[in-house]
Amino acid sequence: MKAGTLSYAFFPGCSLESTAWDFDKSTRALCQAVGISLTDIPDWVCCGSTPAHSSNASLAVALPMLNLQKAQAAGFSQVLTACAACYARLRTANYRVNQDPAEKARAERITERPYDGAVRVRHILDVLVNDFGVRQLRKRIRAPFQGLRVASYYGCLLSRPPEVVAFDDPEHPTCMDELVKAASAEVVDWPFKTECCGASLSVSKTGIVSRLGRQILSMAHRAGAECIVVACPMCHLNLDFRQPEARQGEPGLPDIPVVYITQFLGLALGLSPNALGLEALTSTAAPLYSKSAAVTGMAGGRA
């Protein structure tokens, strides 16, 4: 990190350059708006995500470690990522090479370069809360969400396993709640904030994902939520894109907006829906626009 600035090497990962392009767009827009500098890791490669760690234990460490090596070679001591799966894989690589000398040596043979395990891996939530600060964010809010009831959904990978990834309470995380409150929205208390959405089963077991998604959406609705905020591309895919399938099993379950926390905060900062990629939503964004319309003049946005 450069002295006097919040500056990080940025690892977009594959999802943010494909299906989750709106997460990438809103993350970059939000960081620019608050003065957080992101520099893409030169020639970054896929972290391996689900396929590597389920099929090749060596690549599961070497692929994410290669990105950390590249960040370190570029002069960065910290890497920021937005994707929860990428965060988990990069953190796991650090954990493994620092805990097991044999694992470290094997990964270094694969990448053909040394690594000291010293690059810190940060998630965008961690940086916003612990580096930038909730108080500073609150000062910059231009379009507060007065009266909007929000369910913060963390999913599995941001808090478990706690010895590897957690920067928050693994059972009852609150960092996203703090950010939502900074935007003047009301956080609902609900028991499903760390339940699994089915993750990559979205590809192979869509029926299971529809059932899990329906349970999560239904619980959020019963808790009084008008919106769900997420910080994971798979969570967003399963709760937003597959929401029509999920609702088929529960007649009367309303269309609930599911947005990335970066999109949510971007709107509260006064950024335009287009700058945040909100046109990519399958679910409606109308409740967000209506609750901020008095300040931003965005009434009539995509419904």
Polymer length of the chain: 303
Domains of the chain (ranges, CATH numbers): 6-123 (1.20.1050.140), 133-296 (3.40.50.11810)
Sort residue 244 into left (φ over 0), alpha (ψ -120 to 50) or beta. Answer: alpha
Write 204-211 long-range contacts (CB < 8 A, 24+).
206/242, 206/245, 209/238, 209/242, 210/242, 210/245, 210/246, 210/248, 210/249, 211/246, 211/249
Nearest to 54 by CA among 181, 254, 199: 199
Tens digits of pLDDT across the chain (303 residues)? 443 479 999 999 999 999 999 999 999 999 999 999 999 999 999 999 877 766 788 999 999 999 999 999 999 999 999 999 999 999 999 999 999 999 999 999 999 999 999 999 999 999 999 999 999 999 999 999 989 999 999 999 999 999 999 899 999 999 999 999 999 999 999 999 999 998 878 677 888 989 999 999 999 999 999 999 999 999 999 999 999 988 888 888 999 999 999 999 999 999 999 999 999 999 989 889 888 754 444 433 333
- Per-residue pLDDT, 53: 67
pTM (2 d.p.)? 0.94
Nearest to 8 by CA among 82, 111, 96, 89: 82
R_g of the chain, CA atoms, integer Å: 19
The owner of tokens 């890497």 is 79
Whether 260 contacts 23, CB under 8 Å:
yes
- Per-residue pLDDT, 56: 87
- Per-residue pLDDT, 293: 54
Determine the 3-state secondary structure of 223 from DSSP. Answer: coil
CB atoms inside a 10 Å sphere around CB 5: 10
